[in-house]
Structure 1
Amino acid sequence: MGETTPGVTGGDPFVSFQEVQKSYDGETLVVKNLNLDIAKGEFVTMLGPSGSGKTTCLMMLAGFETPTHGKVILDGQPLNNVPPHKRDIGMVFQNYALFPHMTVAENLAFPLKVRNMSKSEMEQRVQRALDMVQLGTFGHRRPAQLSGGQQQRVAVARALVFDPKLVLMDEPLGALDKQLREQMQYEIKHIHDNLGVTVVYVTHDQAEALTMSNRIAVFNDGVIQQLAPPNDLYERPDNAFVAQFIGENNKLGGKVEAIENGICKVRLDNGETATALSISDGGVGGETMLSVRPERVFIGDEAKDCDTSVTGKVEELIYLGDHIRTRMTVCGRDDFVVKIPNSTERAGLEPGNQVALGWRTKDCRALDRPEGL
């Protein structure tokens, strides 16, 4: 995908990055020609590996970094020369950033004090924010008397207490354990649903992004690779990077032999043939990577009725309760995975056995072939 990413349609965007570039040394661009529009009330996640440019974009929106080129606009106002404290933006960080010498209520009142709000209105807003994160009776405690999850709730409440135009969250759940992290994902999602506030969220955790977002911008090397709702990213990745970064993905190398009506015929590296949707392959004669999700692969007798059928050798079966994760060698690769529901008959599925595998053309995408595949 190119370096320009289409935004939302219908009305003026609430947040807009226009031709934004960022370099720290004057030579290397960490953000490359970014165009991104976000609608009012959206929950958009910037997702990508370390160094992909996502946090830099968030910091430019917050005002802690300045674009080398281009404009950042919030609610119709260019932000390039607006200092951070005048942007009316709430921030939530991974380390909570609570004042340890203040009570929870005093922490929440702080952004209201600097806005010269009356004492009675401050008290009302603080209590409302505490109730919103289910900490209504915790106002008198200090941060050190709270668990990590409670401290993070206070940080979320503090970001929302002054009714900001926009809330930015930078890896806010990174320090929490798995169970608490998942619980907080749902809580933040529900707060967003109830308040309708615009949220821009940064994470490298794909499950977190899929759980919480209206749309996800997948970053790599300073460029948005794809911008789409969670189900589109998972079911319809635009390129090999997105297919491999979002969810589990089986990849097979081959060469495109023919393309007709958006469907390509591919000669796999081991000589077998397959059909797939032509998405970002190299065209007829070009190298491609086939992408098919583990839960979309049929095995045994069911495979024979599929559009594509290949042979696989069973390497390993891992029992995971609701499904059996079956690792196989297919087309010379020993990392091909099939997820088999626990209720399915598993006759013949023993390590060392050869079995038929198959998939429907609509579930397989012919994408660009990464180096090393």
Structure 2
Amino acid sequence: MSTIVSFKNVQKTYDGETLVVKNLNLEIRKGEFLTMLGPSGSGKTTCLMMLAGFETATHGEILLQGKPINRIPPERRNIGMVFQSYALFPHKSVAENLAFPLKVRKVPKDEIARKVTQALNMVNMEKFASRMPAQLSGGQQQRVAVARALVFEPALVLMDEPLGALDKQLREQMQYEIKQIHEQSGLTVVYVTHDQSEAMTMSDRIAVFNNGIIQQLASPSELYEKPENAFVARFIGESNELKGVVASVDRELCTVKLDGGHSIKASAGVAVSATGGASVSLRPERIAVGERARSCDNVFQGGVKDLIYYGDHLRVVMQVCGRNDFIVKLPNDGAARQLRIGDSVDVGWMADACRALQ
């Protein structure tokens, strides 16, 4: 798969001292859906704005289709943009909003009408062409904003927290629709969000940002199953974190002596060696309780502190290995429903279900 965007040693500072983006090297593949994910202030939005042309890189170079674009103004980059605020012209109809970027590019009138209709069909908004933005719901306005970004057939579409203003149900529906549009059109999409579930649902690859640095770039499943550091393990999904020191390493497995004195077997992360501290990441749904726990590689006694009913599963807060906030997710079956606050039960997990990170 060919590369459409390259960031080469890109840095960004606003005050001349603090780097918001630090030596970013990133290649975005043509046709992929890549999400820049991270907490507020991690540098993800700044990267998107530099790519769009609304911010200037302090150092380094950004290439689009092999050509440097640092000095090219936004309107000449052939990039579509979707904002959280929709940014529709309130005095123009839906069709006029979509026609605007085509008129700026001096597209012939009959071609404009064809392209507007095509873009509206793509987002199922063909019946609303004559409506004004104020006559549309939030979800409908966002569909129009997506259509406007696609109408001039850009080389690249950038989306900055586009679903942040929508309610949960509509947000999930729009996630599916945007993913469908991406798959049908073959467009390259670069998407920015701080919502991990949104990133996991939509992306081919995710770049996890923190402190201006990409912590890991991988597929959703790889980020979840094989985080490369403790930040990624905490930020992607939910994780129990146990602190200790690596006692030994044997190929892909290691033994970690926890701060409380217990020892556990875990899969060894890429940088793990038998010379330093480690953080063991363990997903709550990988943990067994009661009879099921006894055949696991790691088995401990746990005290049930709280039970929270979620319908399809029970969330159990336990005291395990010296931690009072140890979380276990259990299917809502007969065994789980027998648990009571104050119970002392076996808790266990396999070595390959937890990951030691340094």
CA spacing shift, 1:122–1:291, aligned 2, 3 Å: same
CA spacing shift, 1:177–1:346, aligned 2, 3 Å: closer
8 A Cα contact 2:226 2:269, kept in partner = no
- Superposed, 1:101-112 pairs within 5 Å as 101-112=91-102
Q: Which residue of 2 aligns with 1:7?
A: none
CA distance in 1, matches of 2:284, 2:234: 12
Q: Which residue of 2 aligns with 1:79?
A: 69
Equivalent position SS for 1:141: coil
CA distance in 2, matches of 1:281, 1:308: 22
Indicate which of 227, 230, 246 corresponds to 2:220: 230
Amino acid at match of 1:185: Q
Alignment identity in percent? 63
Question: Tell me, which stretches of 5 or more residues in structure 2 are unaligned?
Answer: none
Q: Deviations over 1:282-304 (max 9, x none)?
A: 63242111111011111111111
Q: Which residue of 2 aligns with 1:277?
A: 267
CA distance in 2, matches of 1:62, 1:160: 15
1:346 Cα deviation after fit: 3.1
Query: Are 1:131 and 2:121 matched, yes or no?
Result: yes
Comparing 323-332 and 36-45, the one that deviates more:
323-332
Indicate which of 286, 310, 313 corresponds to 1:320: 310
Query: Are 1:303 and 2:293 matched, yes or no?
Result: yes
CA distance in 2, matches of 1:206, 1:261: 31
Query: Are 1:200 and 2:204 matched, yes or no?
Result: no
Comparing 257-266 and 41-50, the one that deviates more:
257-266
Indicate which of 152, 156, 164 corresponds to 1:166: 156
Q: Which residue of 2 aligns with 1:291?
A: 281
CA distance in 1, matches of 2:52, 2:336: 54
Query: Are 1:70 and 2:67 matched, yes or no?
Result: no
Q: Deviations over 1:230-261 (max 9, x none)?
A: 11111111110000001010111111111111
Amino acid at match of 1:221: N
1:19 Cα deviation after fit: 0.7
Indicate which of 49, 55, 65 corresponds to 2:39: 49
CA distance in 1, matches of 2:334, 2:154: 51
Q: Which residue of 2 aligns with 1:113?
A: 103
Taking structure 1 as the reference length, the TM-score comes to 0.94
Q: Which residue of 1 aligns with 2:12?
A: 22
Report the count of equivalent residues. 358
Equivalent position SS for 1:340: strand
CA RMSD of aligned residues (A): 1.2
CA distance in 1, matches of 2:277, 2:137: 52
Q: Deviations over 1:271-326 (max 9, x none)?
A: 12100111156632421111110111111111111111122111111111111111
8 A Cα contact 2:43 2:212, kept in partner = yes
1:267 Cα deviation after fit: 1.3
Indicate which of 140, 159, 169 corresponds to 1:179: 169
Taking structure 2 as the reference length, the TM-score comes to 0.98
8 A Cα contact 2:37 2:206, kept in partner = yes
Query: Are 1:142 and 2:169 matched, yes or no?
Result: no
CA distance in 1, matches of 2:11, 2:101: 31
CA spacing shift, 1:360–1:145, aligned 2, 3 Å: same
Equivalent position SS for 1:14: strand
Equivalent position SS for 2:127: coil
